Structure 1
């Protein structure tokens, strides 16, 4: 079986700052995948395509026919942190790790098999948001002692530095986002383990539980930061609905109230994360995505 990385993964990695380590990982990916399979004594069935933007996922099975999924991510994606978060959640609201013994050898993670083609995005919007909120409640727990995760303050500090060199046409929104971020990190209200990249597409149907989250980019901080990415989910649909600023604010308020999160803190983090994503999309040449994100941020 060929283990060539899907083009979606290649394009996504090309948008990120590349390290020599990550470049080498991408070049050696077919070889690394074969080694990881042999090490865990599982057989490949097929590569998941189009797959994710940050990893290669191979659907596999044990000798007894038990299905599983093998995930390989570049070192820069810190798969060790993903493993630590999934292990801490222990399958409660999240995909379960099946074997972590060999992780330090190759960075790959063997996971229980979920239905990759059935996410919360397959549900009507109201039902999807209800299930998403229920999943987030399970994930927001105290981090383990001596955890390896960065904080919201640390991650957004790096992002803020990148924003300072944003194109002039985004300057007003960028300045607003940076001001909001400064106010938000000055007095963080809580320190919980966060998914870091939570949205409807990251919650898949399973057999052990109806819905389980995958693909965390974990960090420690306040719930409003984690919820902010969900606010702009199905963004094209939101823009097409023509509800504009009023609709965006209603969505913020509804999600904040559902999870007992401060409305203004959620609004602030939603603006910051939308602007940061929009500027990054602009620099990668994804102008349509950038325009949607920046328009949404302006509404708030």
Structure 2
């Protein structure tokens, strides 16, 4: 299968997991894709571009002619956990897992990748997002292998620590780390979470209007899962004269609509924005970092 991996995939894998690991997997990708297509008896239509940030997505046809999507992810992104979460949701609020094709490859229900919640006006998008994520918050399967919010954020907190002396992020870094310590100390929920839920991760479908894709599943409290959604369209918020008050209103509105504690959602929104902002700083994406850290300062 001759193709060039989308540049967004190449860039993000290198930034998140290291250039060496990314290059090794990307070098094997054509053969991996070919084997997955053969194993699941799939015919290729086209590779999605810009596509995902941690996986290759190919629009395909199954042996019976029905449309599907083949998703191939490197082992270090734990596609087995995505498989387990999708199997547990079984199409409830999320894309349906149709088959497996080995070596980190999943055959998924075909959605409309060009139509996400970001295509809707903001108020409508947030309403639909809340309705979608609510369906995902279920009891995790017995004997699951998902990490907890405490475990995932412990590694992130260690990376944030490196920026305590950074002039652009030092004060926010301290506030984010303090917020996390207080949050994990009182976290009693253990529901299954999407892990990376935002408007762009909810696509239009045929069997139901909106379905979540691309989970990075873990277990813990619901407020953590909503924190990434809070800063959606951050560039618009930062550009608006009322951005700070609008951000705080969004926290309160989302918390109230899903019966969450406002302060816990504010705390996780702060932590996750600072984590993303300091990661952008480390990668040299200063403009992205400035947007995220300004947003965090409003919380």
Contact 2:14 2:20 in 1 (8 A): no
SS at structure 2 position matched to 1:45? strand
Cα RMSD (Å): 1.2
Distance 2:7 2:66 in 1: 29
SS at structure 1 position matched to 2:264? helix
Aligned length, in residue pairs: 297
Distance 1:168 1:64 in 2: 57
CA deviation profile, 1:24-47 (whole Å, cap 9, x unmatched)? 222100110011000000111100
What is the TM-score with the length of structure 2 in the denominator? 0.97
CA deviation profile, 1:36-63 (whole Å, cap 9, x unmatched)? 0000001111000010111100000023
Contact 2:57 2:71 in 1 (8 A): yes
CA deviation profile, 1:98-152 (whole Å, cap 9, x unmatched)? 113x43xx11000010000000011111111110000011000010011010000
Deviation at 1:189, TM superposition (A): 2.9
In the alignment, what sits opposite 2:159? 162
In the alignment, what sits opposite 1:18? 18
SS at structure 1 position matched to 2:200? helix
CA deviation profile, 1:225-281 (whole Å, cap 9, x unmatched)? 000000000111111222132221111000000000100000000000000000001
Distance 1:3 1:87 in 2: 30
SS at structure 2 position matched to 1:15? helix
Distance 1:185 1:243 in 2: 31
CA deviation profile, 1:271-298 (whole Å, cap 9, x unmatched)? 0000000000111111111000000000
Matches within 5 A, 1:25-174: 25-100=25-100, 102-103=101-102, 106-166=103-163, 168-169=166-167, 170-174=169-173
Runs of 5+ in structure 1 lacking a partner?
Answer: none
Deviation at 1:23, TM superposition (A): 3.9
Runs of 5+ in structure 2 lacking a partner?
Answer: none
